[in-house]
Amino acid sequence: MPDCPTCDRPLDAHDRHIRFTLPTPVLELPDREHTPGTWMSHQTARESVMMQVPGAGPFVRVLLPVQLDGGYQLTFGAWLAIHRDDLQRAFAVWWEPGYVDLRLDGFFANTVEPWGLFPAPVTATVRDPDATPYVTASADPLLAEVLSSTWPHDEVLAHLPA
């Protein structure tokens, strides 16, 4: 794969998905996702799209798209902290036709460098019925800028593993 003429990184580093395994509040617990009483929609956090962890709360996976110069896009598979009633509502429609109308409000539950973003308020909506909801809006000025701006390669890629 050739290198990018703008930042000298491999081009395949520009259009990719970066997936957070756990929300930051869960990472801060001594037993993490193994905390007694934890519920996950699948057996492992890597596969899970929903979880509720005592001492941390309920979470749903979301996608955060970040536009890079030159038409590239990074997508962060992150977690959204939500109210437990919203977790029940999301679980009830996740694999049903009503999923397309799902809207979740909560707080971004991961730190994404170079911006931070944890715990910015966000809204996530379904753009594609076969995909996780996307972060589509935020009252936080920085996260709103992340969603609406195009970013220089070096400013973002320098903070990611190769």
How does pLDDT run across 50-107, given as a tens digit for each residue? 999 999 999 999 999 999 998 899 999 999 999 999 999 999 999 999 999 999 999 9
Domain count of the chain?
1
Ramachandran angles phi, psi of 33, nearest 5°: -75, -5
Structural domain boundaries, residue 76: 12-23+58-157
The single residue listed with the structure tokens 């009830």 is: 92
Q: Provide the pLDDT confidence category of residue 47 given band limits of 50, 70 and 90.
A: confident
| Residue 151 domain-assigned (yes or no) | yes
DSSP3 helix / strand / coil % (the chain, rounded to 5): 25, 35, 40
| Residue 130 domain-assigned (yes or no) | yes
Rounded mean pLDDT, 2-13: 64
| Residue 28 domain-assigned (yes or no) | no
Residue 161 has pLDDT above 90, yes or no: no
| Residue 120 domain-assigned (yes or no) | yes
pLDDT computed for residue 15 by the predictor: 63
| Residue 41 domain-assigned (yes or no) | no
| Residue 110 domain-assigned (yes or no) | yes
- What is the 8-class DSSP label of residue 46? T
pLDDT computed for residue 42 by the predictor: 82
